[in-house]
Amino acid sequence: MSSSIFIRPALESDLSSIVHLDATSNPHPWGESLIIDALQTRKSWVVKSNENEDGGILGWLTASQVFDQSELEQILVNVSARRQGLAKKLMTAWLDDSEKIGVTEYLLEVRESNLSAINLYESLGFEQVGLRKNYYQTEQGHEAACLFTLTI
């Protein structure tokens, strides 16, 4: 079987793989209870490889939706699978699937120092519309949250 990457909505049975991904690839891990809440109350997509017989998940995106707005809550790609376009695929699945059900405005916030994520969002047309100073804690103190939006 040739190797292929695919994206699908997350299932509750993906929980242990997502918890493992969060524990090993998230610089600020969420932990199991927040992930359970996301799987139960928000929309999530996962990216997998058909070579991953063990059900391992390479990436996960979760977003909340209220009427015509959707807000990115988390996007995470396995450290060993980065810079292969997987986050872009997950973001595109979120944007395309949400557009089909009437979402016209996308929101997200990101740590000011997270240049990989900021580059990703800007490459998809997101624009920075605000800054919340000292919003996140860091080991040295605090850093700002940058607010981004995309309207279609």
Which residues are at the interface with ligand COA (CB under 6 A)?
A: 25-27, 75-77, 82-88, 110, 114-117, 119-120, 123
Of residues 102 and 127, the one with the C-beta less far from ligand COA: 127
CB of 1 to ligand COA, least distance (A): 23
Where is 115: in which H helix or E strand? helix 115-123
Beta strands in the chain (DSSP E): 5-9, 43-49, 59-66, 69-77, 105-111, 127-137, 142-151
Q: Which is nearer to ligand COA, 35 or 110 (CB)?
A: 110
71 is annotated as an active-site residue: no
Indicate the residue among 102 and 145 with the shorter CB distance to ligand COA: 145
3-state secondary structure of 78: coil
Considering the complex, what minimum distance in angstroms separates the CB of residue 101 from ligand COA? 23
Identify whether 109 is a catalytic site residue. Answer: yes
Q: Residue with structure tokens 């997950």?
A: 90
Residue in 32, 71, 105, 109 annotated catalytic: 109
Q: Pinpoint the alpha helices (H) of 1-114.
A: 15-25, 32-41, 86-100
Catalytic site residues? 109, 121
